Structure 1
Amino acid sequence: MDGSVANPQPIKAIAIRLLAAFALSTMSMLIKYAGERGVHLAELLFWRQAIASVVIAGFLIAIGRIATVKTQRFGAHFRRAFVGLVSMCFLYGTVLILPLAEATAINFTAPFFAVMLSVILFKQTVGLYRWSAVAMGFVGVLIVTQPGGGAINPLGVATGLMGAFFVALISYQVQDLNKTESPWSIVFWFGVLSAPMAALALPFFAAAHDPMTWLIIGLMALSGGIAQLLLTASLRFGSAATIIIIDYTSLLWAVGYGWSVFDKPPSAGLWLGAPLILGAGLLITWREAVLVRDKRAAKAQS
């Protein structure tokens, strides 16, 4: 897999990615809303994966692509599902603990951990640009969270950073799976394998809910499934290095939802720190794109 796009349509890719960012932000808002109505994290994880799996399977059947989920790498899919479920525990936990905008901003530290993992796991050489971006992003996190100042719950910060770490780890798992698996296969098996894992905790935390709460849970899972489909579809028309920048628009939706739904205006620290985090992520994305382009050019010349 060389990372090229078979049918490049950048405008369409950006539009789809914008919808994906909106769907993910909506899912986060509904997670927090459901949590405030007494839904346990374990329930949210199970229903998110179970309902989304049905949505994705139905979509693949409808478009005649269900055969693309056939795989010879069941073990790799299982490991990705397990790490993905752990990641969701931390990410959803962060949304339940922190205001939406702050939780979203901390989640954007995933590219920093990806850089660190590239050094630790793959012994890659990281230059000044990417290390500078990591440092800038770290400063941004400190400004947003204000450690020791009591502005942000330290537990939420810890879970957010752990979630971002696992997101970075998953990116390498998915990168490996992409060498042999279709995007639909990766999305399908993640849901199908992680839902039974999440179900193991249900007997301990499941509870009865009123119809409105069940509606919120259903909409949360539906928005998550739609987001997965949109994220996958966006990669059919644009390169990841280009369109991943659009993901940062989810912070705007998070601020809007936090203010309008939960009456939580963004803190002063968010206005100062978020631009540093976003800028650092953009710098890493740009640098990765440059390195990939240079590598392809060198390969073509040789």
Structure 2
Amino acid sequence: MPGDTILKGVGLRLLAIFFLSTMSALVKLAETRGATLFETMFWRQFCALPVVVAFVAMGPGLATLRTRRFGAHLGRSAVGLLGMVFTFGSVLLLPLAEATTFQFTVPIFATILGALILREPTGWQRWSAVLVGFAGVLIVAQPGAGHHVTPFGAVIGLLAALFVAIVAILLRQLGRTENSGTTVFWFSLLSLPPLALLYAFNLKPHDAATWAILVSIGLVGGMGQIALTAALRHAPVAVVVPMDYSGLVWATLYGWMLFGLLPGSATWLGAPVIVASGLFIVWREHRLGRQKVAAASAIEDA
């Protein structure tokens, strides 16, 4: 890929992480003003839907929203909805920096799921990276230490990362026939009925500022999703994924500005371990992918 195209992909990924980090901060801010988990989830999907539709309309066209794989979209939406419960729940239960740090375990879970479910070959190097990553998790969580990362919050944070990895596998399978805009649209649409039902039991009056925050959660989240999708059009996964770790910078900044919290010493020690583990896994995947392409080209040339 041309250098300017790759730079555009990196820039879009950084923008996406900024949007999604901002969304997490708004979720936590809404909770301090009385909004419930299911309220924030409903408004996240409801307000993101028109953003996604507009993106598809300006890109591949609304005709691409038609699908013959409704069942697959339904399954992806069910898993994604449960994953959203854990993702938003971790933001509410943990300081922003710690919730973000647990999200960095996604490559670790992706490696485990790839080996166990997809039967992908996984050598000792990647298994070693998995063990190192979980060592970093133990440093951050400090079981039994009695600090601000509770065991329950740590479990929810890890479950959030696990479900992100599961969704990634489902998206890989859906991506064989569906474009990304179609998948995001159906997830947003199909998740609204159950969320609306849950929201009906959690209706609350709010002031204008809280309503503005709830609407912003959806708009910012939708823009973040679009930027994530667009980044992969311009640069390979191995190039853009390391940009995700910039989320810790935004989480630390928002945590300090909005809630007066800075990451604890355990997070400063454990986060680099988890990041290093994830970066090695991504690099290893990229290297193996290039080797497969080179081997295939050699066979064709023979």
TM-score, reference length from structure 1: 0.95
Residue 300 (1) aligns with residue 301 (2): no
Residue 200 of structure 1 aligns to a residue whose secondary structure is: helix
Q: Which 10-residue stretch deviates more, 51-60 or 213-222? A: 51-60
Residue 65 of structure 1 and its aligned partner are, at CA, apart by 2.0
Residue 262 of structure 2 aligns to a residue whose secondary structure is: coil
Q: Pick one of 130, 133, 137 that aligns with 1:134.
A: 130
Q: Which residue does the alignment assign to 1:21?
A: 17
RMSD, aligned α-carbons: 1.5
Q: Which residue does the alignment assign to 2:145?
A: 149
Q: Which residue does the alignment assign to 1:233?
A: 230
Residue 282 (1) aligns with residue 279 (2): yes
Q: Which residue does the alignment assign to 2:72?
A: 76
Residue 59 of structure 1 and its aligned partner are, at CA, apart by 2.9
Contact 1:6 1:236 in 2 (8 A): no
Q: Which 10-residue stretch deviates more, 62-71 or 281-290? A: 62-71
Q: Pick one of 182, 185, 189 that aligns with 1:185.
A: 182
Residue 172 (1) aligns with residue 166 (2): no
Distance in structure 2 (CA, Å) of the matches to 1:91 and 1:150: 23
Contact 1:111 1:281 in 2 (8 A): yes
Q: Which residue does the alignment assign to 1:251?
A: 248
Residue 242 (1) aligns with residue 243 (2): no
Residue 262 (1) aligns with residue 259 (2): yes
Q: Deviations over 1:81-121 (max 9, x none)?
A: 11011000001000001000000001111111111111211
Distance in structure 1 (CA, Å) of the matches to 2:238 and 2:217: 28
TM-score, reference length from structure 2: 0.95
Q: Which 10-residue stretch deviates more, 271-280 or 54-63? A: 54-63
Distance in structure 1 (CA, Å) of the matches to 2:231 and 2:144: 41
Q: Which runs of 4+ in 1 moved over 6 A?
A: 5-8
Matched AA of 2:93: I
Distance in structure 1 (CA, Å) of the matches to 2:3 and 2:54: 25
Q: Which residue does the alignment assign to 1:44?
A: 40
Distance in structure 2 (CA, Å) of the matches to 1:89 and 1:143: 25
Contact 1:22 1:253 in 2 (8 A): yes
Distance in structure 2 (CA, Å) of the matches to 1:267 and 1:7: 38
Q: Deviations over 1:228-273 (max 9, x none)?
A: 0100111110111221111111111001110111100110011100
Q: Which residue does the alignment assign to 1:196?
A: 193
- Structure 2: unaligned runs, 5 residues or longer: none
- % same residue: 45
Q: Deviations over 1:33-87 (max 9, x none)?
A: 0011111101111110111012111232244622222211111111111101100
Residue 261 of structure 1 aligns to a residue whose secondary structure is: helix
Q: Pick one of 112, 118, 124 that aligns with 1:122.
A: 118
Residue 136 of structure 1 and its aligned partner are, at CA, apart by 1.0
Distance in structure 1 (CA, Å) of the matches to 2:166 and 2:272: 24
Contact 1:49 1:194 in 2 (8 A): yes
Distance in structure 1 (CA, Å) of the matches to 2:237 and 2:91: 25
Residue 116 of structure 2 aligns to a residue whose secondary structure is: helix
Distance in structure 2 (CA, Å) of the matches to 1:102 and 1:75: 35
Distance in structure 1 (CA, Å) of the matches to 2:283 and 2:264: 29
Residue 8 of structure 1 and its aligned partner are, at CA, apart by 7.9
- Match runs of 1:51-66 below 5 Å: 51-63=47-59, 65-66=61-62
Residue 125 of structure 1 and its aligned partner are, at CA, apart by 2.3
Residue 298 of structure 1 and its aligned partner are, at CA, apart by 1.3
Distance in structure 1 (CA, Å) of the matches to 2:235 and 2:199: 39
